[in-house]
């Protein structure tokens, strides 16, 4: 029986990951900002077979609350086999360009809050010398683009943080995984036109769970984004700056 903690549990990919673990009879501790969605999700996961489902609400920008939030989750579950952090927002790039406070808000939600939560969770798991940490970031963090560089910079910051955290926690047998999805058809991306590169959140959730359980270090989800981002990162800046992306 597995003990799973998910932060940002009501997001599309996280919900599907929770369903996969519920079917296997896991104990789930779900954290999100919307109590009504959490309650509905709690009932659904119990029906699907979860051994237990506990829920808690949080404010990503209330950094002072993060330590108690993480500690309560660990105490409730007793031990955490896998922690998944999946919360975030997709900002309006133009608005962020016009309003520095909005840009800072989005950096806080997508970057600083994740690092805050990771810091508290890592300290506990390092002492216990077990478990895994997985964070959903984005391919947007691989290279800054004019269309979403506020979002991308936050995700890139988290990815760099995870690289160092992985090296640190490897000594304590705690696995750290950075999941970088490409385009995923979720409510957050509902306004975008969909094409062949878009993935279903159910498919991505299966990838995430499989990589958690295999202690994989491969980030891109689906895997073909490795090739796409390798090409994008290799374009010289003098050429890249003339491209509309």
Q: Within 13 Å of residue 150, how many CA atoms lie on the same side as its CB?
A: 22
| Whole-number Å distance between alpha carbons of 70 and 119 | 10
- State the pLDDT confidence band at 188, using cuts at 50, 70 and 90: confident
pLDDT for residue 49 is more than 80: yes
Count of beta carbons in the 10 Å neighbourhood of residue 123? 12
Which pLDDT score, from 0 to 100, does residue 19 have? 98
Chosen CATH of 3-240 out of 3.90.550.10, 3.40.50.720, 2.60.120.380, 3.90.660.10: 3.40.50.720
Q: What strands, in cross-sheet order, belong to the sheet with 27-32?
A: 52-57, 27-32, 3-7, 82-85, 132-136, 175-181, 220-221
Model confidence at 62, in pLDDT bands (50, 70, 90)?
very high
Instruction: Count Cβ atoms below 10 Å from residue 210 Cβ, excluding itself.
Output: 11
Computed from CA positions of residues 63, 68, 70, 73, in that sequence, does the dihedral angle turn out positive or negative?
negative
Element holding 6 (H helix, E strand): strand 3-7
Query: pTM for the complete prediction?
Result: 0.96
């Amino acid at each position: 029986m597995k003990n799973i903690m998910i932060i940002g549990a009501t997001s599309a990919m996280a919900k599907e990951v929770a369903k996969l673990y519920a079917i296997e009879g896991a104990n789930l501790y779900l954290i999100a900002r919307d109590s009504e969605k959490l309650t509905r999700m709690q009932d659904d996961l119990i029906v699907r077979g979860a051994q237990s489902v506990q829920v808690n609400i949080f404010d990503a920008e209330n950094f002072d609350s993060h330590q108690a939030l993480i500690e309560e989750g660990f105490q409730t579950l007793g031990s955490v086999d896998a922690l998944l952090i999946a919360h975030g927002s997709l900002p309006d790039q133009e608005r962020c360009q016009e309003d520095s406070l909005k840009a800072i808000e989005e950096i806080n939600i997508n970057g600083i809050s994740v690092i805050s939560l990771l810091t508290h969770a890592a300290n506990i798991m390092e002492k216990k010398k077990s478990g895994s940490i997985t964070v959903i970031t984005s391919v947007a963090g691989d290279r800054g683009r004019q269309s979403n560089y506020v979002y991308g910079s936050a995700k890139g910051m988290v990815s760099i943080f995870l690289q160092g955290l992985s090296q640190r926690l490897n000594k304590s047998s705690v696995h750290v995984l950075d999941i970088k999805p490409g385009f995923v058809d979720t409510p957050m991306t509902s306004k975008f036109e969909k094409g062949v590169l878009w993935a279903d959140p159910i498919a991505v959730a299966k990838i995430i769970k499989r990589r958690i359980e295999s202690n994989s270090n491969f980030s891109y989800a689906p895997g073909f984004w490795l090739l796409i981002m390798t090409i994008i990162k290799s374009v010289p800046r003098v050429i890249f700056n003339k491209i509309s992306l």
